[in-house]
């Protein structure tokens, strides 16, 4: 997995591409807990979306990220295909996570 970072309008944007392996989850955990908590800035995670059979895996990734973030209100997900958002909402993820 690769993570690219950029900043726009006082928002840190991380573009994620590839499979979320253990090393990738450790990186995301650092981004969510260390960078978000320390700076208090809005974190936006952009996923490179693949359609079809990856939808379940994608929703599980979103659910796991939500668990990582706990009640961190600075976390938002962006760049996610509408069908994945619908699927994630069926898993119980709050609408406020998606921008």
Q: What φ, ψ does residue 79 adopt, rounded to 5°?
A: 70, 25
Answer yes or no: is 2 within a domain.
Answer: no
Answer yes or no: is 40 within a domain.
Answer: yes
Answer yes or no: is 18 within a domain.
Answer: yes
What are the residues whose beta carbons fall under 8 Å from the beta carbon of 25, sequence distance 6 or more? Answer: 64, 68
pLDDT at 7 (0 to 100): 78
Task: Please report, in tens digits, the pLDDT of each residue of the chain (99 residues total).
Answer: 677 777 777 667 777 666 666 676 677 767 766 665 555 555 666 665 545 555 566 666 666 666 665 556 666 666 566 666 676 677 676 666 666
What's the domain range around 52? 13-97
Instruction: Name the DSSP class of 34.
Output: I
Q: What φ, ψ does residue 51 adopt, rounded to 5°?
A: -90, 170
pLDDT at 38 (0 to 100): 55
Number of domains in the chain: 1
> pTM for the whole thing?
0.47
């Amino acid at each position: 997995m690769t993570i690219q970072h950029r900043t726009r309008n006082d928002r840190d944007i991380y573009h994620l591409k590839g499979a979320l392996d253990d090393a990738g989850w450790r990186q995301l955990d650092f981004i969510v807990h260390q960078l978000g908590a320390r700076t208090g800035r809005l974190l936006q995670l952009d996923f490179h979306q693949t359609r079809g059979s990856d939808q379940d895996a994608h929703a599980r990734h979103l659910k796991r990220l939500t668990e990582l973030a706990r009640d961190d209100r600075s976390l938002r997900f962006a760049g996610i295909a509408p069908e994945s958002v619908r699927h994630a909402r069926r898993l119980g993820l709050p609408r406020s996570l998606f921008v």
